[in-house]
A and B are shown apart, each in its own frame.
Chain A
């Protein structure tokens, strides 16, 4: 790097005709600055991605290694009830949990931005602090809280002579996981939205105020439209996060093994297939399908946001 640098600097003596020389120098520097990231990016992201796609096209056999099977694994996945049930479960999760979480985040962000609250700093930090708790520890902690032995909910119910609430049964498990994820991420999304709200020029709604618009009206017609990019960002991150759900179910599985099966979430399924069932190729196909599903849903989210924008 320094050799080229020295050459170029030497050429800088004739800076009168800088046009092309400078542009070249700039371009070379551009490539050099981008290079380290691109190398790691290719090695750790592009190559594994293609390798995964490659693997997914083979099928392992008991004798004689693996054979090419085309889209056989994909066909199998699309008929695999365990996989489909997992995807459906995540779709259910997406439809219920994401709107609740983002709705709460937006509500808190708007409340904080409105200046109507005392103890703003304390409130903001308290809502955000669960984000600093690793997902695994959040799941461990909530697992104990939900528990029948020394969970405070069960203790409270017992003290009042009521039956202990059953958070970890077939019926309620998905909602219990939704609660953990909501608890962890409301604050994170709130901060993104709050920061976006803060950067709206107040002039935008001073006029509305003068015209007598109330806080709710201002929030609905001015603030929310203005932070659409931030809302979109949080929505896409939530889609990605939901489909990748792994930590919480994997931890709760040790507490309720009968409720959370090997394929409770697609990700858990891919993990179990690859590392317990030793079906690497099929697991690669599942992971690939999952990636495609995420991209499709994120794309739909983006597209619908764009369309709404155009319509208005």
Chain B
């Protein structure tokens, strides 16, 4: 049925050690012959479960179109009679002299800078660990791998104190610098590089007299591009979603990212100064701030799916 060699293990293949999975156009394997036919009843049951995952987002979408009074007077899962969506958007973007726009800019700045930096560092290191022999690499890699388990919040307090000493708190660096470290990114890139770059290619380039730097930049990097995008995407999400770090590092609202800013609006609205129409603004603000990531995930599906595959298959 297929000509590709398969490492079948007797006894159910408890230890299946695959080469790094192919990324890119997924090898369409003859699943249909092995699997059953689609089952409508099963599909309906699963769609019921899917509703659990989608309904909160549906609620958010519906609620974002309502005025503060309509939030209380109409049913949550359906639209109110008068749509207030334009007004809500206007409120979100003009409240406190348009600070929401500043928060968006900050979030994009932090997320993009950190993600590009983290992915670049992880790619260079992962490539070296996978493809270059140098003394101490095993120990170094094990140390980095161990750091995956260090809770980031255990680091946040000392980092804050160290940054305070050198005057970095309440600046973008306080968010960007700690976000550049992605031990999991290094791990992913190592696994990825091991599978994506044939040793023979490197040997040939070396025999031809190409420098290691040239080999990396003109040969390896191209082959590593999908892995790079994967790490980039996950680092982007991690920084975009980060709340703890900016919460402790930043004190000026004009440096806040969306997460901290929205949380602050919400706590103001809960604090009871009910005259301010903050509920609908928090809701609209939440909707606006999740749309970019959803779009990114939709369009970059190939990358995050294959990236998670790389991480999960090998250990």
Contacts and interface: CB of A to CB of B under 8 A. Distances in A.
Interface stretch (B89-97, B98-106, B262-270): B262-270
Contact of A30 (B137, B240, B271): B137
B313 interface: yes
A55 B262 CA distance: 33
Contacts of A143: 266
B163 to A, nearest CB: 10
Interface string B147-186: 1111111111111111000000000000001101101001
A294 B56 CA distance: 31
A129 B297 contact: yes
Contacts of B30: 202
B4 to A, nearest CB: 8
Nearest to B270: A254
A160 interface: no
Nearest to B76: A152
B211 A5 contact: yes
B201 interface: no
A152 B59 contact: yes
B39 interface: yes
Interface string A212-253: 000100000110011111101110100010011011001100
B282 A191 contact: no
Interface string A30-56: 110110111011011101110110010
Interface in B85-140: 120-122, 124-125, 127-129, 132-135, 137, 140
Majority secondary structure of chain A interface residues (helix, strand, loop or mixed): helix
Interface string A185-218: 0110001110110111111111001000001000
Contacts of A267: 151, 153, 244
Interface centre among B7, B47, B52, B312 (most CB of A within 10 A): B312
A199 B259 contact: no
B151 A243 contact: yes
A115 B36 contact: yes
A41 B36 contact: no
Contact of A134 (B129, B241, B311): B241
A29 B132 contact: yes
A186 B241 CA distance: 17
Interface stretch (A58-66, A70-78, A280-288): A280-288
Given A41-B144, A136-B263, A144 B313 contact: no
A192 B308 contact: yes
Nearest to A120: B38
A40 B121 contact: yes
Given A117-B42, A149-B72, A134 B243 contact: yes
Contacts of A173: none
Given A12-B209, A40-B181, A55-B158, A34 B129 contact: yes
B124 A51 contact: no
A309 B31 contact: no
A162 interface: no
A18 B216 CA distance: 20
A199 B240 CA distance: 30
A226 B312 contact: no
Contacts of B270: 254-255
Nearest to B298: A125
B261 to A, nearest CB: 10
Contacts of A288: 154
Contact of B12 (A44, A202, A222, A240): A222
Interface residues of B, number: 124
A47 B296 CA distance: 34
B153 A290 contact: yes
A183 interface: yes
Nearest to A46: B147
A284 B157 contact: yes
Interface centre among A111, A229, A275 (most CB of B within 10 A): A229
A174 B18 CA distance: 40
Interface residues of A, number: 126
Nearest to B75: A155
Nearest to A192: B312
A133 B209 contact: no
A81 interface: no
Interface string B16-36: 101001000010011110111
21 contacts: A22-B206, A25-B211, A30-B132, A31-B128, A37-B144, A44-B159, A47-B162, A116-B39, A130-B53, A132-B297, A134-B241, A134-B290, A137-B286, A183-B52, A195-B313, A202-B31, A203-B1, A205-B34, A244-B152, A270-B157, A271-B244
Interface of B: 1-2, 6-8, 12-16, 18, 21, 26, 29-32, 34-40, 42-43, 46-47, 49-50, 52-54, 56-57, 59-60, 63, 71-72, 75-77, 120-122, 124-125, 127-129, 132-135, 137, 140, 144, 147-162, 177-178, 180-181, 183, 186, 206-207, 209, 211-213, 216, 237, 240-241, 243-244, 248, 258-260, 262-263, 266-267, 270-271, 279, 282-283, 286, 289-290, 293-294, 296-298, 301, 304-306, 308-309, 311-315
Q: What 3 A-B pairs have minimum CB-CB distances, sorted nearest first?
A: A195-B309, A29-B212, A30-B134
Interface of A: 1-2, 5, 8-9, 12, 15, 18, 22-23, 25-31, 33-34, 36-38, 40-41, 43-45, 47-49, 51-52, 55, 108, 111, 114-119, 122-123, 125-138, 140-145, 149-152, 155, 159, 183, 186-187, 191-193, 195-196, 198-206, 209, 215, 221-222, 225-230, 232-234, 236, 240, 243-244, 246-247, 250-251, 254-255, 267, 270-271, 274-275, 280, 283-284, 287-288, 290-291, 294-295, 298, 309, 312
